[in-house]
Structure 1
């Protein structure tokens, strides 16, 4: 059987493997997925995870549970040598090994793209993983706990000042969700007021959310301003050293939480370690039919999709002629890639990827959302229901759909879960603090010089009773021992 290696288990990789399991005949091919994480993260839910509206585990999909016919390897692919059709697999434990394949599918996704701004690498946090979303939630809750015990002043202001960099969909969603989250928390902290919380979003462009109309983006700005959140347009972040935000406008303030959402880039761990062609922006060069190569020539047995690949947008709506890196395209590319793989295995021709953007939908906190499709737009509560309906149904597998929807229903009646678990960052800290440890061996004292032997006085033998001399080698009586009877 031909061996199909899928590098990356995100949207595109997961859906490729999932659909291959459905469409491949028994014995037609052997599929292996390699990813450092054992789950696929549904990234549109990360803002709601950070705001306590979705249980973190419900926003991820276990690969081994839903890819039942696929071999899942939890490791990194550190090099792809397509000339030899081998990939170097490096696990977290153990030695790397070479994996031989017949067909390779590169769907390694993207990571946060940052710039060399002082302090960002040390102070900021991204929003690409479920772990980052959980850390943001715990930081907000922890800061409220700390601030409630402090008097009004600079330290409390720092704890309750939250900053988001980037005004795209991800940035606006996490910004609005955190604003909604903080407002809901105030009723549990009578020591704090609404005016004690400060929210800043920094966007280098002159507008937010380029995926929606200008009118809709203005509505979002107005809504955020009414909720006490400040958006800085045409502004660049100059420094974030020690949490001190310095902007190009000259304004400065201190912030304890800085969330970076200002762009993504193709996974460098894969695109920098392969002999497959990479285009000028650092993405895998892919044709419209998802085969690696150019429009004139393709590389046999090499495919790519998702955020790691530069997939031509045949609708003409993509930025620079390529599809934008989002879940909508990655999922559909993964499904088409699986169909094309099956078609090629059976001697048929692949189809080109063509998907016209269906629109954009965003949640801006409980009960607030926006939806844009062409010239049609919805705002407020109805758009919020549309956001939840779309993403609730888009979540892979009914098992995961029900977990998410049931969580929403419970939150409607019970409210958000506001439990913080900061100890997850160092779970052994309490155990180590009180654990008993063996005492270090005492240092050996220097030996005292031996005293010269003294001759026993003659009276010793004279005083000893006849017949009671201790035999040679017998233990001598110690002080406090009873005197033996003479009977």
Structure 2
């Protein structure tokens, strides 16, 4: 059977494998998916995970549970020799090995795009992985615990200050959800007041949320202002060392929680190791059928989709003529890619990918949201219902849908779970603190001291005198 190797198990990779299982006949091809993680993360839920509205494990989809006919390998693809159609698989344990394939699908997604700003790499955290969302939630809750024990002053202000960099959808949703969480936490901390919490959003452009109309984005700004949020437009972060966020305006904001959401870029390690052609922005180049191309020439046996790829947007709505990196395109590209790949295996012609943006929907905390589709704009509670309805249905598999919906239903009556488990990041610390340890080995007997050596001649003289007196006593 021909082997189909899928590099990356995120949106595009998971859906490609899922749909190939559906379209391939028995014995028609073998599908192998390689990803260092055992799950796909549903990225639109990360802000709600950070806000404690969704259980972290419910926002991910297990590869092995839902890909019954796919061989799942938890490892990294560290090199691709497409001329010989072999890939180097590097597992976390064991030696790297070569894997031969007939068709390769590169869907390794994107990573946070950062700039060489002092302190960002050391002190900021992104919002591209489930682990990051959990860490943000636990940090904010732990900071409330610490601040409640401190008197009013600079240290308490620093603990209760959140800075989010980036005013796109990811940044606004994260910012609004955390603001909502902080407001909800205050009722459990009588020592703290609303005025003690400080939220700052830093955006380099003159507006937020370019995916929606200007009036809609202005409404969001006003809504955030009502909730005590500070939005800094036309402002850049120039420094983030020692817990102090320096802005291009000269203002300095002390903060213990800096969240970076200022854009994404194609996974650079996978693009470089693949050896496939890429555009100046580091994305693997593709045509509208999702086959990899080198200029005008098709690279036979190579496919790509999702954030790692530069796919033409035939609807005319893309930036620079290409599909924007979002979940909506990644899922639909993967479905089309799976059909096209099966068609090529059967000697049929692939079909161009075409998708017109359905609109944008964002949650802005509990019972508040915004929805934009063409000229239609919804705000507030109705938009929040649309947000949850859309993403609840878009979550892959009924098993995952049920877990998310059940969590929302429980929270409706029980409220958010405000327990922080930050200590889980150092799970052995408590055990090590009280664990009995072997005593150090006994030291060797010390060498004779100088005084002892000096006493030796005296002892010998005394012994001689006793020996001399012994015959007299006998006589």
Equivalenced residues, count: 457
1:447 positional shift: 5.6
On the 8 A contact 1:77/1:89 being kept in 2, the answer is yes
- Give the superposition deviation at 1:294: 4.8
Point out the more displaced range, 67-76 or 287-296.
287-296
Q: CA deviation digits over 1:93-112, x for unaligned, max 9?
A: 11111111110000000000
CA offset at residue 446 of structure 1? 3.4
* Equivalent in the alignment of 1:333: 333
- Where structure 1 has 5 or more consecutive residues not aligned to the other structure, the ranges are 458-487
Give the stretch that moved more between structures: 293-302 or 175-184: 293-302
Match of 2:43 in 1: 43
Rounded to whole Å, the distance in 2 between the matches of 1:23 and 1:187 is: 53
Taking structure 1 as the reference length, the TM-score comes to 0.92
Q: Is the 8 A contact 2:277 2:294 kept in 1?
A: no
Deviation at 1:274, TM superposition (A): 2.3
What is aligned with 1:377?
377
**What secondary structure does 1:139 align onto?**
helix
Corresponding residue number in structure 2 for 1:73: 73
Query: Does the CA contact (< 8 Å) of 1:287 and 1:294 recur in 2?
Result: no
* Residue 128 (structure 1) aligns with: 128
What does residue 250 of structure 1 align with?
250
Q: Which runs of 4+ in 1 moved over 6 A?
A: 449-452, 454-457
Distance 2:164 2:94 in 1: 39
- Give the gaps of 5 or more residues in structure 2: 468-475
- Alignment of 1:170 with 2:188, yes or no, is no
The residue aligned with 2:471 is: none
TM superposition shift of 1:295? 6.7
Q: 1:66-99: CA deviations, max 9, x gaps?
A: 0010000001111111011111111111111111
- In structure 2, distance between residues paired with 1:159 and 1:276: 46
Distance in 1 between the 2:269 and 2:443 partners? 51
SS at match of 1:423: helix
Residues 145-189 of structure 1: CA deviation (Å, up to 9, x unaligned): 000000000000000000000000000000000000000000000
Q: Which aligned pairs between 1:86-165 and structure 2 lie closer than 5 A?
A: 86-165=86-165
Match of 1:302?
302
Aligned equivalents of 1:309, 1:443: Cα separation in 2:
65
| Cα deviation code 1:440-459 (max 9, x no counterpart) | 1112113659999x9999xx
TM-score, with structure 2 as normaliser: 0.94
Aligned counterparts of 2:147 and 2:240: Cα–Cα separation in 1: 21
Is the Cα contact below 8 Å between 1:287 and 1:295 reproduced in 2?
no
User: Does the residue aligned with 2:99 lie in a helix, a strand or coil?
Assistant: strand
In the alignment, what sits opposite 1:21?
Answer: 21
Whether contact under 8 Å (2:289, 2:352) holds in the other structure is yes
Cα deviations by residue, 1:184-219 (Å, 9 ceiling, x for unpaired) = 000000000000000000000000000000000000
**Structure with the largest fraction of helix:** 2
> 1:422 Cα deviation (Å)?
1.0
Within 2, Cα distance between the matches of 1:339 and 1:295? 24
Instruction: Render the CA deviation track for 1:388-430: whole Å, top value 9, x for unaligned.
Output: 0000000000000000000000000000010100111100000
Shift of the alpha carbon at 1:242? 1.1
Aligned partners of 1:274 and 1:63: how far apart in 2? Answer: 23
Which structure: larger Rg? 1
**1:215 is the counterpart of 2:215:** yes
Following superposition, the deviation at residue 296 of structure 1 comes to: 2.8
- 2: CA distance, partners of 1:171 / 1:422: 23
Aligned match of 1:422: 422
CA RMSD of aligned residues (A): 1.5
